Chains A and B, each alone.
Chain A
Amino acid sequence: MPKLTIDNIPVEVADGTTVLEAAAKVGIEIPTLCYMKGVQTIGACRVCVVEVEGARNLAASCALPATEGMKVRTNTRRVREARRTVVELLLSEHDGDCQTCARNEDCELQSVARTLGVRDVRYTGAKAPRYRDSSTPALTRDTAKCITCRRCVTVCNQVQGVAALWAQNRGFKTVIGPAFCQELDDVVCVQCGQCGAVCPVGAITEQDHIARVWDALDDPSKHVIVQTAPAIRAALGECFGYPPGTRVTGKMAAALRRLGFAAVFDTNFAADLTIIEEGTELLMRLKQALVPGGNGHKHQYGPLPMFTSCSPGWIKFMEHYYPDMTANLSTCKSPQQMFGAIAKTYYAQKIGKRAEDIYVVSVMPCTAKKFECQRPEMTDSGVQDVDAVLTTRELGRMIKQAGIDFAKLPDEQMDAPLGISTGAADIFANTGGVMEAALRTAWELITGRPLPFENLHVKPIEGLEGVKEASAKVTDALPAWKFLEGAELKVAVAHGLGNARKVIERIRSGQAQYHFVEIMTCPGGCIGGGGQPRLTDDDVRRARIAAIYEEDEHRELRKSHENPAIQQLYKEFLGEPLGEKSHHLLHTKYAARTRV
C-alpha cells in the first residue's frame, strides 16, 4: 500500500495502482488519449505526462506504478507545456475537418485540445497518410484522421482475437490497418466495430445509414417500420446526457413515432421468436444425440454443442477461423433478421401490402448488423428483409436532427403485434441473457416446471467474467423428454471473441463438454456493442446490464413462450416451431471464409 503525494496531496493506494489512477482518487483529472482502463496502458501518446521528483524526464502516468514516497506534480509549467506540445504535434498532422467530422463534439482529441487550452498550432508540415476505406457494409476508415494511438489494434487483437488491424509501415508513414493496407472487406474483419467504439477520433466509424432512412421516410410509396434491439433502451439516453443505465424505452418509442415511422416495433418480439425456434432446435439436437435412431424427424440437425447465432460478428468469426465447426452454430437467424422476414411476409399480409412496399429499419447497438442485413441469404421474403440499420449513435443523431427534445418526450408503448415481447427478450442485450432466456423456456418445456433459479436469474452466467459455466440436472422430465431424465445439461457463456476462442479451443481439445454455448461478439454483450454511445468501459457495461435486468423484472411476462403475439404468429402463420415455413423464413446457412 504505497503512500505518495500528488500536487502535495497525500494519498495511499493499493499495490499496482498507477499514478493516473491515484491522481483520480484525489480529484485530479489527468488527460489521456491512448489509455484504455484495464485494456491498454502503453504510454504511447504522452498526453498524460507528469513530473516526478528526482526523475530527469517526464513520465507517462498511465503506465507509471505509484511507489512509496513518490512526489508527483501534475500541474507544473513543464508538464503543461509538454502536454500542449504533444497535442499540437498531433493536431499538426491530423486532418482536422472538425465541423463535418462524424465525431464533432464527441472527439477525444478535440476535447483534450480544449482542456489543455490549445489555441494555436505552432507546427506545420505533412499530414498523416490518407487511405479511405469504405469497402465493408459496416465501417469506414480514414487514416488521415488517425492518431496511431493503437486502441483499435489492442481491441482487435487482444480483446477480440480477430487481428484484422495492425500497424503497417514505420515512422511518419505508419498506417493502422489491415495487412499491406488492404481493405477491410478483403481480410478477416468481422465488422464488430469495437475498433470504432474505442477510436478517440473519427478514424473508424460506422457506415452512415441516416440519409437512406430519411429518404425512405420521405417516400410516400413506402410503409416504413422500425425495430429496436433490446440493448438500445439502456443506452440511447446517453446520447442526450442521461447517465449510463437510464431506461428510456418509453421515450424511445415516442421519438421513433415522431420521426415518422408508420409502426414502432421491437426486435424483442423476434427475440422471443428466436427462443422458440432455437430452444426447439436445441432439444432436437439433444434428442438426435441421445436417442438411438435419432430425432425421429426427417430433418438432420447439427451436432452438439450448439452455439447461439444471434451475433453476426461471431458468425463471421466462425466462418473465417473455424469453418469446420459452423455446423455447431444454430441455424436460427438472428432476431433482427427473423423480424425482417416476418415483417415482410406475415405483417405484410396482415396490412395488405407487398414485401417490396415495406421498408424495415433496425436500430442496433451493433455495426455488424449492417453487414448481416445485406448477406445474400437474408432475402427470404423475396427482397432484402432488413433495409437499413441505424446504430444507437445514429438514432441519437437523427432525433437531434429532427429537433426533438428527448427529455420532454412522454413515455409511449410499442405497437402491436410485432412490438409485443417478454422479459426474456430484454435480456438478449447482455452476456448470459440469451442462454437464460432459452433455459427459461426449454426447462419448462422439458419438465413442465419453472427454471429452478431464484427470480429466474441463472446467477452463475451473469456478470462480466469472460467465460461462465452452469449446469442443471434434469429430473421428472415430461414423457416426451424422458430421454433427458437424469442428464446433466451443461452450458457455457462467453463474450468478446477472444473469450469465444478460449471456449472453442477447450471444446476442440476435449477439455470441456457442453450442450449449449452462448457467444456474444462484444465484451458485455450487445449492451457493449460497436454501435453504442462512446466510450463504453466496464462501469458503463455494468450500469447498462443492471438497467436491462430491471427492464426484465418489471415485466408481467418473462418467458418467451408466454408471449401472446408469438403464440398467435404460430397459430395464424408459421404452424409449428422448426416447421416448413420456419425453415424457409427463420433459418439460414453459413459459408466458409479464408483466414489469410
Chain B
Amino acid sequence: MSDDGIVKCACGEEASEEELLARLDTVLKDYRDKPGALIPVLQIAQGLFGYLPESALKRIALGLDKSYSEVAGVVSFYSFFSTVPRGKHLVRVCLGTACYVRGGKRVLDALKQKLKVDVGETTPDRVFTLEVARCFGACGLAPAIMIDEEVHHRVKPSRIELVLSKYRNGNGDAPVERSAKR
C-alpha cells in the first residue's frame, strides 16, 4: 500500500483499502455458511489486495466465525499466501526435484543477483517479488520458472534478463518466446 492509502489491486484498477474491504465483505457474505470456505476466501482476498493485510485477515476471521489464530495458522502454513505487499509481478522459481537437478538453483541465484533481492523479498521499485516453489508440473521442460500465471521453460541463467525485460516495461501480457500460458 502506498502512503496515500491507495492499493493497487491485482486486476489493475486503483482502489482504496476501504473499497477493497467492502468487496471482501461481499465475498464473505457468499462464503459465510459454506464448509471449507477459509482457503478460497484467502485466495480471493490475496487476489483483491495483492497480499493479505492484517485488516483483511481480521475481517475474514470475524466474517467466517473463525479464530484469528486459525486463520493465521493457515496463512503461515501455505507459501502461496503472503502477508507483506508484493511486487507487480510474482517470480517463482521451481526447486522441485527435476528443476533442481537441471539447474533451478543456478536460475534462482541469477534472479537474486539480477533483482538484488532475497527469496520472499520485493524489489524497491515494487515490480518483482521473488519466491521459490515446488513443482509446476513442467518437469519435462526443466528448469522452469513462473512469472504471474505464465510458465517459462528451460530457463538459462544467462537469459534471465531477457525474460524479465518483457515485464519491466510492459505489463507482461505480450507472448514470450518459449513460454506457454498455463
Closest to A178 in B: B69
Instruction: Point out the residues of chain B lying under 8 angstroms from A180, CB to CB.
Output: 72, 76, 83
Instruction: Point out the residues of chain B lying under 8 angstroms from A188, CB to CB.
Output: 67-68
Interface residue? B163 (CB, 8 A): no
Query: In the complex the two chains form, is B76's CB within 8 Å of A170's CB?
Result: yes
Instruction: Point out the residues of chain A lying under 8 angstroms from B58, CB to CB.
Output: 596
Instruction: Point out the residues of chain A lying under 8 angstroms from B76, CB to CB.
Output: 168-170, 180
Instruction: Point out the residues of chain B lying under 8 angstroms from A163, CB to CB.
Output: 67-70
Instruction: Point out the residues of chain A lying under 8 angstroms from B70, CB to CB.
Output: 157, 163, 166
Interface residue? A52 (CB, 8 A): no
Report, as a range, how many residues of chain B touch the other chain. Answer: 10 to 19
Bound form: Cα–Cα A164–B68 in Å: 8
Bound form: Cα–Cα A179–B76 in Å: 9
Query: In the complex the two chains form, is B73's CB within 8 Å of A596's CB?
Result: no
Bound form: Cα–Cα A208–B67 in Å: 29
Interface residue? A569 (CB, 8 A): no
Bound form: Cα–Cα A180–B76 in Å: 7
Q: How many residues of A contact B (CB 8 A)?
A: 16
Query: In the complex the two chains form, is A168's CB within 8 Å of B73's CB?
Result: yes
- Shortest distance in angstroms between B94's beta carbon and chain A's nearest beta carbon? 18
Instruction: Point out the residues of chain B lying under 8 angstroms from A187, CB to CB.
Output: 68-69
Chain B, interface SS category: helix
Which chain A residues in 169-209 approach chain B with CB under 8 Å? 169-170, 178-180, 187-188
- Shortest distance in angstroms between B93's beta carbon and chain A's nearest beta carbon? 19
Contact with A along B50-90 (1 / 0, CB 8 A): 00000000100110000111111100111000010000000
Query: In the complex the two chains form, is B62's CB within 8 Å of A166's CB?
Result: no
Instruction: Point out the residues of chain B lying under 8 angstroms from A168, CB to CB.
Output: 69, 72-73, 76
| Residues A166 and B61 in contact in the complex (CB < 8 Å), given A180-B83, A596-B68 | no
Bound form: Cα–Cα A280–B74 in Å: 49
Closest to A189 in B: B69
Interface residue? A329 (CB, 8 A): no
- Shortest distance in angstroms between B137's beta carbon and chain A's nearest beta carbon? 21
Name which of B58, B73, B83 has the most chain A CB atoms within 10 A of its CB.
B73
Which chain B residues in 31-57 approach chain A with CB under 8 Å? none
Query: In the complex the two chains form, is A179's CB within 8 Å of B77's CB?
Result: no
- Shortest distance in angstroms between A185's beta carbon and chain B's nearest beta carbon? 14
Query: In the complex the two chains form, is A596's CB within 8 Å of B83's CB?
Result: no
Contact with B along A208-239 (1 / 0, CB 8 A): 00000000000000000000000000000000
Contact with A166, one of B69, B78, B83 (Cβ below 8 angstroms) = B69
Query: In the complex the two chains form, is A179's CB within 8 Å of B72's CB?
Result: yes
Instruction: Point out the residues of chain B lying under 8 angstroms from A595, CB to CB.
Output: 62, 68
Query: In the complex the two chains form, is B77's CB within 8 Å of A164's CB?
Result: no
Interface residue? A165 (CB, 8 A): yes
Bound form: Cα–Cα A178–B70 in Å: 9
- Shortest distance in angstroms between A148's beta carbon and chain B's nearest beta carbon? 12
Interface residue? A259 (CB, 8 A): no
Bound form: Cα–Cα A403–B73 in Å: 46
Query: In the complex the two chains form, is A157's CB within 8 Å of B67's CB?
Result: yes
Bound form: Cα–Cα A164–B73 in Å: 11
Contact with B along A41-71 (1 / 0, CB 8 A): 0000000000000000000000000000000
- Shortest distance in angstroms between A571's beta carbon and chain B's nearest beta carbon? 50
Instruction: Point out the residues of chain A lying under 8 angstroms from B67, CB to CB.
Output: 157, 163-164, 166, 188
Closest to B83 in A: A180
- Shortest distance in angstroms between B58's beta carbon and chain A's nearest beta carbon? 4
- Shortest distance in angstroms between A136's beta carbon and chain B's nearest beta carbon? 15
Interface residue? A89 (CB, 8 A): no
Instruction: Point out the residues of chain B lying under 8 angstroms from A170, CB to CB.
Output: 76-78
Bound form: Cα–Cα A528–B170 in Å: 65
- Shortest distance in angstroms between B112's beta carbon and chain A's nearest beta carbon? 21
Bound form: Cα–Cα A170–B78 in Å: 8
Instruction: Point out the residues of chain B lying under 8 angstroms from A164, CB to CB.
Output: 67, 69
- Shortest distance in angstroms between B59's beta carbon and chain A's nearest beta carbon? 9
Instruction: Point out the residues of chain A lying under 8 angstroms from B77, CB to CB.
Output: 167, 169-170
- Shortest distance in angstroms between B113's beta carbon and chain A's nearest beta carbon? 26
Closest to A175 in B: B76
Name which of B68, B70, B71 has the most chain A CB atoms within 10 A of its CB.
B68
A163-B68, A166-B70, A179-B68 given; 17 more Cβ-contact pairs under 8 Å: A164-B67, A165-B69, A166-B69, A167-B73, A168-B69, A168-B73, A169-B76, A169-B77, A170-B76, A170-B78, A178-B72, A179-B71, A179-B72, A180-B83, A187-B69, A595-B68, A596-B62
A-B contact pairs, 10 of them (CB 8 A): A157-B67, A157-B70, A164-B69, A165-B69, A166-B69, A168-B73, A170-B76, A179-B69, A596-B62, A596-B68
CB within 8 Å of A: which residues of B? 58, 61-62, 67-73, 76-78, 83
A-B complex: 7 closest residue pairs judged by Cβ atoms: A163-B67, A179-B72, A166-B69, A166-B73, A596-B58, A596-B68, A179-B69
